[in-house]
Every structure is written in structure tokens, then in C-alpha cells.
Structure 1
Amino acid sequence: MPDVVELLADLGGVARRGVLLAAVDRGVLEAAVSAGRVGRVGRGLYALPGVDESVEVAARLGGVVSHTSAALRHGWGVATVPTRPHVTVSRGRRLGSRAGAATVHRAELAPCEIEDGVTSPARTLLDCARSLPFSEALAVADSALRESGCHQLLQQVADRAQGPGSRRVRAVAEQATALAANPFESTLRAVCMDVPGLAVRPQVTVTDGAFAARPDLVDERLRIVCEADSFEWHGGRSALASDARRYNRLVVAGWIVLRFSYEDVMFHPDEVRAVLLRAVALAEVLNQRGPGGRDAARASRQPRRWFSTSAGAPASARSLSG
């Protein structure tokens, strides 16, 4: 059974009760709350402890919770849970030594952009999309659509964006989707977008006869599947067996299946991109072969003979030594 704190971190720092109880027992969750390891930030909404403290820090500084800290307060997952709360204060406000308690941003906010000491959903979307790296901004936007269904609001934010960063705001709004399962998957999708020739879509149903699967990310033209594999979800024996069967069926159906860990996607995206580049090159070669390539390999059921019947060494090894 996964640790509830690690599970919350994988989910972006905040999650609904039903999502958590799908992976941990009710008693485990309640024990974590009682011990202060997990906080309640709303009805049926749980978060890492620092999320609940952000409003108090903002109040001491005379500002409001903003950026990814505000996203967490709205119940949206983030790719990187902030170690210090993000707080926006007036440009003229002097903080002195108190500034070290938060990551401080300077802006003049209109009253309609503040709700209960937190930037409004619209302002939070704008701040995150404008200032965060694209992958982190996409994770917030995906989470907002998934948790709040605010498609129209996000589009309004993009349409009204002006000045520095407005192009990024519109790009985030264009690519955001409620189909992304969590910030981990959103980040992997952002890495995929940076790979020429690769065009993945989340949660596409793949069929092969009676077999059906719904991988995390799918490029249907290249027949590439990308899975965001978290140990917290796939660490059990039964889950491992189910995943192995599914991956094997996808491979024999002619799909290139790539599995990426949370650590690699979040901390080593360049290595993930390098693998994706090679996968695209391989898929293009297989596609160029047409019916005589990928499809023919699937249709063949004859075992390949790797060893000579007259000698113990592989035939390939004998030809190299001869």
C-alpha cells in the first residue's frame, strides 16, 4: 500500500477523498490527518500540510496566496509543490526580513482578482500560465479543467492576456485538456510536445480484436504508447501482473510501448526526450516498410530459429567467428 504523503505528492499535492481511498485504506488516511502529515483544505479535499499554511503566511505579509500555492488552494494539482508559499503583494509594500517566509511576487490586483485571501481562479490561471515553465503551467491548466471544468474561463483568460508572456498563456490554453490524469502525465505530455514528429493524445482507447486498452498517451500514426508509471499506483503484485499483460498485448499488436518513471519525467526530462526521439525514428522506419514491415511481423506466427540444430552456439555467433 502506498504512503499517503508520497501519493499526494505524485498527485500534485492535493487530491479528492475518493481518489485517495482508491489507493489507501480509510484508516491510513485518517491517521495521516490526525498526525498532521496530511491536511484538509476543503470538503472532501486533502493536501500536503504547507498548502493549508499558505493563507496564514500571506496574511502576515499583507498579501494574497498566488501562483501554484493558489492553484493548490483551488484544488488543482501542480507539477512542483512549492517549498514556500507563493504570495503576491503590492509593489510598494516593504517586507524586510519577513520576505523570507514566502516566494514574493509584486502586482497590483483588482478586488475581483482576490477571493478569501487567494487569487481568483482566473488570476491564478493567468499567473501560472504566464510565469511558469510550459510543462508546469500545462499541469496546472490540465488540473483546473479536470477538477473545476473551467474551459470557458481558461479561454477567456487566454483571449484577454496582454503583454509579456501572453503568447505562452494562449499556448497553454490551446494544449490544456481535462483528460490528463495527473500533473505527472501532463508533464510527460509537455515533453512529448517538444519532440518533432510526435503527436500524442491522452487516454485514447486502443483495440486489437477483443483486446482494448486505454494508455496514458498515444500517437496513433506512429503507433507509440507512452505510459507515466508511478510506483504508488503500480507497485502491487496484482497491478504488476495486469500491467504486464496489457503491455505485452500492445507490443504484439504492433505498438511501441515506452514506460517512464516519475523521477525521470520530473527530474531528467532531457533523457526522456532522447528516448522519444529514437522511438519516433524507429516508428518512422517501421511505417516506411508498410504492409511488409510492422503488419507482416504481427501476422507471422512462425518461431524464429536462433540456434543451430547441429551445434550449441548461436548461428550468428558462428558467422562472426568464422
Structure 2
Amino acid sequence: MDPVGALRELGGVATFGELIPFTDRGEIERALAGRRISKPRHNRYCLADIDAVRHAVARTGGTASHLSAAQEFGWKLKEDPTRPCITLPRSARKPSGAYELHWADLSDREVRRNVTSRTRTVIDCARAYDFDVALSVADSALREGIVDRDDLLIGAARSPRTGRAKAVQVAREASPLRANPFESCLYAIARGVPGLEVVPQGAVPGVGFVDLLDRVLGIVLEAESLEHHWTKAGLQRDVDRYTTAARLGLVVLRFTWADVMFEPDQVAEAIADVVRWRTMQAVGRHGLAA
């Protein structure tokens, strides 16, 4: 796979160890030489042009915020921002240029460092963007380990009234157990399916941990990446794993990154169909009943 496509599936940023299963060293070097990807520091590859954001900060006199701040921290995102995200003081005039602009009162530390704090960044994204985009940011922040869910809950509760309910919802549902935006976005789809209650990294005896599990209905949702499935050993592991799941009476639904990112309605429809049938079975109705 081309390193650009691999990085996109990995959330826009990856270490060499995360990237190499999708591609090879030569492809990575060629992508770097062609400036199609960047390496802002040791063992960090990304799609974002961090320098462009820093130049935008300098030109506007603002502070990197929202998705641009998340990129600065090296967090994995559902999608890169199309323009640098900049927050300006409330009294500042609108600068010329192609920016995603916001106005807010920032701390002296945020202004001095030219980037909003981690907690503020998560809350800003939760207030400004769709749930799946914001949850990807929040999950990435928790995986980093510098902020925890209590930080997010407090930040959400103290945030401005506009968008506060969205921020509280994201803070409550954020989890470091989801490995990447792929899993975060699959969860975001699943939570909208009536009757389904999934937990991340559910443990199944003989199978191990699965991406999302509804224990009551016996439904497993897997976010399937090429990383683990392109070898003979990977194929055998899959066969053993999902045969064991079937022997336990579980229904496994497997979705690709393209399914989740580009066909969320179809993914939700497939999950809803299985939830309906499993619910009918759970109450003792025949699976072919009208």
C-alpha cells in the first residue's frame, strides 16, 4: 500500500513500526522525498504539514487549536483539517487567508506556546465537530495518557453553554481502549443502532479481545485492517478465531476502513439487521417468522 493511504487509515500519524506492515521502507523513503508525507521528528510520520500550521499561527497572531492542535500533539484523527485551525482573541479582527477561525479567551500559557491545551483541544473539537470526529480526538488524547476522562468531564462541564451537551457526551464515551479512529468511528456508528450496547475490547474466552462486543446479544464488531490479515499465518489466525466465535454462538460482523469511513449508513443498516434477528432469537421467536 502507498504510505499516504496507509497513514490515512492509521489516523494521519504513525510510528515506523505501525506503518511498515502496510508498505515497505523504499516506499516510505520515496514518499518522504516527494513531500507526500512528512517526518516532523524521530520515528513520527504524518500527513499533516505542521510547518503550514505554524506559519498560519505566525501570520494571524493566533493560536493553533481544534484539529490543528490535535495534529501538533501527534494524535490520530478521523480526517485532517482542510485548513489550519486558529483561535484568536475575542477582540481580534478577522485576518485574510484560508483558515478555520475561532475566537476565545486563552490562557497565557496557551498563547505563549502557540497551541491550546490538551483538555481544551478535546473539548473544542467536541463542541465544533460531529461526534465521530470528536470521539477520535478524545480517544487519541486518552491513549496518550497525559489527560484522563476526569479531566475531560471537568473541562466539558466548564465549557461554554453552546456545544456543552456535545462535549459532555464525548467526554463520557471517550475510551483509551479503542486503538485508532477506525475503531472510534465504528463505535460511533454502533451507538446509533437501537438495541445494541457495545463495549470496546471485550474479552471472549478462546477468542481473546474483540474490537466491540455486545454480550447480551452475542454480537461482535471487528474493524478489519490489512495489517494483520495479509499473510498465511494471519489467514489461519482469522479462521481459528472466527470459528471459535461461531462455536460460542457469537455473530461476527467485519468491516473495512472504507466501509466505516465512506459507507456508514450501510454499516449501520447491516448491524441493525443482525440486532433485529438476534433480538428475535433472544425472546424465543423463530428466525423466519413474519
TM over 0.5: yes
Letter in 2 for 1:186: S
Give the aligned partner of residue 58 of structure 1: 57
Q: 1:115 to 1:257 in 2, by over 3 A?
A: farther
Partners of 1:32 and 1:13 lie apart in 2 by 14
Partners of 1:122 and 1:236 lie apart in 2 by 40
Larger Rg: 1
Partners of 1:212 and 1:15 lie apart in 2 by 27
Give the aligned partner of residue 251 of structure 1: 246
Partners of 2:156 and 2:144 lie apart in 1 by 19
Q: 1:148 to 1:20 in 2, by over 3 A?
A: farther
Q: Secondary structure at the match of 2:222?
A: strand
Asked if structure 2 preserves the Cα contact closer than 8 Å seen for 1:50 and 1:85, the reply is no
Q: CA RMSD in A?
A: 2.4
Describe the superposition over 1:206-242 as per-residue Cα deviations: whole angstroms up to 9, x where unpaired: 11xxx32322111111100111123455344543443
Partners of 2:170 and 2:215 lie apart in 1 by 23
Q: 1:191 Cα deviation (Å)?
A: 1.0
Q: Secondary structure at the match of 2:220?
A: strand
Q: 1:206 to 1:27 in 2, by over 3 A?
A: same
Asked if structure 2 preserves the Cα contact closer than 8 Å seen for 1:7 and 1:232, the reply is no
Asked if structure 2 preserves the Cα contact closer than 8 Å seen for 1:37 and 1:49, the reply is no
- Overall identity of the aligned pairs, in %: 40
Asked if structure 1 preserves the Cα contact closer than 8 Å seen for 2:207 and 2:245, the reply is no
Give the aligned partner of residue 312 of structure 1: none
Give the aligned partner of residue 224 of structure 1: 219
Give the aligned partner of residue 170 of structure 1: 168
Partners of 2:51 and 2:236 lie apart in 1 by 38
Letter in 2 for 1:262: W
Q: 1:83 Cα deviation (Å)?
A: 2.2
- Structure 1 runs, 4 residues or longer, greater than 6 Å off: none
Q: 1:25 Cα deviation (Å)?
A: 4.1
Asked if structure 2 preserves the Cα contact closer than 8 Å seen for 1:66 and 1:87, the reply is yes
1:268-307 alignment runs, 5 A limit? 268-289=263-284
Give the aligned partner of residue 140 of structure 1: 137
Q: Which runs of 5+ in 2 are unaligned?
A: none
Asked if structure 2 preserves the Cα contact closer than 8 Å seen for 1:39 and 1:49, the reply is yes
2:115 paired with 1:118: yes
Q: 1:286 Cα deviation (Å)?
A: 2.0
Q: 1:82 to 1:260 in 2, by over 3 A?
A: same
The number of residues matched between the two structures is: 286
Partners of 2:17 and 2:146 lie apart in 1 by 18
Partners of 2:167 and 2:242 lie apart in 1 by 36
Q: 1:159 Cα deviation (Å)?
A: 3.4
